[in-house]
Chain A
Amino acid sequence: MIEIVNLEKVYKKKIALSITELIIRENEFIGLVGNNGAGKTTLLSLILDLIEPTKGYVKSKETLVSESDDWKNYTGSYLNEGFLIPFLTPFEFLAFIGNLHGKKNEEVKSFLNENSLFFTEEFSSTKYIRELSAGNKNKLGILASFISEPEILLLDEPFSNLDPSSQSWLKSKLKKLNEEGVTILISSHDLKHVTEICNRILLLEKGIIIKDNNTNTETLVELERYFNK
């Protein structure tokens, strides 16, 4: 589904990311782990064509992401606040994204009702997004990435700033989406969450994938050993 070949991103002579080959197959659920500066966000941004690779390329469904806009039709993503439009209300924002994917406002409303356990801020709220708390901004961004019913989902640290109930809601939601066939790639600092829901873990260190394993009972222990060293 996603094919990454010889991908390299260099900032001022410092290698931020260097991947010889990485294939993300359909319906995989991948967890990206690594310390700050390991290259997680850089990788996600490259897949989303937000930054220009120094070398190499990313293909999504056999087309270069930098050449065509097609991937936008089936890719949902939320990396950070920059994905939200600060002066809209939550509903206006969701409706805007929904409309882009041909959804009517009624459908957006019923989508919000379905997910009302997650986004507790009243969606008819007249608060602008810029006035929401960090947690609610994060939730809104994540919901917006779901609304298009994407085939691929890219989320950067989706569990940060979330309260415990929202974390467990999100975990089961992601699992369910994955069972329905969605390919998911998330980054996280929470090893327990990642090993619990992902079926493949990529461990990044200084821009290089140093471990690429399918999740099994040993994974959590292995990862904890790596991070505690």
Chain B
Amino acid sequence: MRIKLNIGMINLLIHHWKEKQRSFFWKKSIILNIVFGIVGFYILLNVFVIGFFSDQIILKLYKNKDLLETYTGLLFYYFSLDLIIRFLYQKLPTISIQPYLTLPIKKSTLLHYPLLKSGLSFFNIVAILFFIPFFIKVVCTTQPFLFCFTWFTTLLSLIIINNFLNFSFKKYFSKYPLLILFLLTIVGVLIFLDKTKNVSCTAYFSNTILIIANTPFLVIIPIVLSFLTYYMAYFLLKKNSYIEDTYRNNRIKTDSFLFLKQFGEIGDLLRIEIKMILRNKRPKSMFYMSILLLFYGFIFYQNKTLDNYMILIFTGLFLPSLFAINHGQFFFSWESSFFDSYLTNKIAISNYIKSKYLFYLILSILGYVLTLPYAIISYKIGIINGAILLFNIGISSIIIIFFCTYNAERINLGKIQFMNYEGTGLGQFLLLVPIIGIPMLIYYIFKIFNIPQYTYYALGGIGIIGIAFNKYLLQILIKQFKKRKYKMALGFRQK
């Protein structure tokens, strides 16, 4: 039996590898894969370098404090953020279990396999790369062997706990995506309390770990906890492994966004687009990701940057447009699984294109409104972003829709967004060249004449011209769509 089990595990591994290797995307674009490979390597390298110098960074930031104690305390932040990021982005390695259920492979093998494989997740590699340099440089050189062993085992257990806790989190809470806001709030409150020194979470955290490290037999606690989370995930997976369980049971509203009905055909199309976002993993996770990315504003908008027009304009170009660009870049690809339905039903192409344009406009305005609170930092932000909003409505929208007609790759709506490059072609990157490039070019021209503050007048003006010629521009899009629709439909049909 033992032998059989191992063969099952190896087979699964081979199939998984084949699935990856033979996937449509992997075969298609070598250049993109190389690019992503380099980016991935670059991230890991960065993590390693930061890990390597973390002792010096801490010594600089926290003078006169115990290095090991501070480091261990700061890990509190690391692990809380790690959990949140994992919740959002970590893909659970799934293997389509159905074909194997009737084969002579032990069911437990089928369940242990994805769990064990998740150990190789990018997040775990990042964590280990981050800790090891500090461990070798500081802990090993200053502490006795037993302490080193327990300290490291505790951290390793924490990584494992986060890994499998996330498994359970995802299975439980994927139905309630708003939970992430709840989690964010908790972590935010804890960090706030820690910063204001009301409740020192970092101190508690480092004390606990150091106590464990100093009393070696206590190391059993984190080890037991990691096994506990593993089996929690295991039983949850087991419960979900029957085929019929994949059906949803919760009721959904049969009709929503009824107010859009008054806009006729275009309103109907918009309603479908909104339902598409709400009811499918990939566009939904992309939408939530955009919300999170809005917090980048706190990094870009700082007192010292408020006089730097380049940073203000650059941030204004990407921050409020997150929703519009993220969603808009796949405008037609989102519909790849039912594109033929749109082509054969009584939908005028002009209305179809107009609905895309309107949706871009709605998303742009949404982004503007959501980033408006940053105007509290400086009124300039509100004005510049307003001018860029005009530019987005008048010009970027048209450019995005135009380039979308060149994207003929099928998108599977059910997959999660993170590290998912399905449907992404070089076109997606080229798309950014005009919509970010043109405004930046205008900025540089104005800068040569030493009047960079007029850039946003120009952008707003160009936007208004675009809006004025909207009818004409839409005609170009409609023509373009008619020309490209066969090629798009053909690409979308390739599963």
A87 contacts the other chain (CB 8 A): yes
B340 contacts the other chain (CB 8 A): yes
B185 contacts the other chain (CB 8 A): no
A72-B346 contact given A85-B272, A88-B272, A91-B254, CB 8 Å threshold: yes
B338 touching A83, Cβ below 8 Å = yes
The chain A residue sitting closest to B277, CB to CB, is: A87
Residues of A with C-beta under 8 A to B280:
87
* Interface residue from B265, B279, B413, B493 paired with A82 (Cβ < 8 Å): B493
B254 touching A83, Cβ below 8 Å = no
Closest beta carbon of chain B to A61's beta carbon, Å? 15
Residues of B with C-beta under 8 A to A95:
255
**Most-contacted residue by chain B among A69, A75, A80, A124 (CB, 10 A):** A69
Residues of A with C-beta under 8 A to B247:
127, 131
A126-B254 contact given A48-B344, A87-B275, A96-B272, CB 8 Å threshold: yes
A79 contacts the other chain (CB 8 A): yes
* Interface residue from A73, A75, A82, A126 paired with B251 (Cβ < 8 Å): A126
Taking beta carbons and an 8 Å cutoff, which residues of B are in contact with A? 247-248, 250-252, 254-255, 261, 265, 268, 272, 275-276, 279-280, 337-341, 343-349, 413, 486, 489-490, 492-493
Residues of B with C-beta under 8 A to A124:
254
B251 touching A49, Cβ below 8 Å = no
Cβ contacts A to B, 6 pairs, < 8 Å:
A48-B344, A72-B344, A82-B339, A100-B268, A100-B345, A100-B347
A50 touching B340, Cβ below 8 Å = yes
B341 touching A84, Cβ below 8 Å = yes
A187 contacts the other chain (CB 8 A): no
* Interface residue from A69, A86, A128, A131 paired with B337 (Cβ < 8 Å): A86
Closest beta carbon of chain A to B242's beta carbon, Å? 15
Number of interface residues of A (CB under 8 A): 34
Residues of B with C-beta under 8 A to A131:
247-248
The chain B residue sitting closest to A87, CB to CB, is: B279
Taking beta carbons and an 8 Å cutoff, which residues of A are in contact with B? 48-52, 69, 72-73, 75, 77, 79-80, 82-89, 91-92, 95-97, 99-101, 124, 126-128, 131, 148
A101-B279 contact given A83-B341, A85-B341, A126-B252, CB 8 Å threshold: no
Residues of A with C-beta under 8 A to B490:
51
Closest beta carbon of chain B to A69's beta carbon, Å? 6
Residues of A with C-beta under 8 A to B265:
100
The chain A residue sitting closest to B249, CB to CB, is: A126
A83-B340 contact given A100-B268, A100-B345, CB 8 Å threshold: yes
Closest beta carbon of chain A to B488's beta carbon, Å? 11
| Complex CA distance for A52 and B279, rounded to whole angstroms | 33
B346 touching A92, Cβ below 8 Å = no
* Interface residue from A72, A89, A96 paired with B254 (Cβ < 8 Å): A89
| Complex CA distance for A96 and B343, rounded to whole angstroms | 14
| Complex CA distance for A100 and B486, rounded to whole angstroms | 23
B489 touching A51, Cβ below 8 Å = yes
The chain B residue sitting closest to A129, CB to CB, is: B338
Residues of A with C-beta under 8 A to B348:
69
| Complex CA distance for A124 and B275, rounded to whole angstroms | 17
Closest beta carbon of chain A to B495's beta carbon, Å? 10
| Complex CA distance for A95 and B280, rounded to whole angstroms | 20
Closest beta carbon of chain B to A199's beta carbon, Å? 25
| Complex CA distance for A203 and B55, rounded to whole angstroms | 79
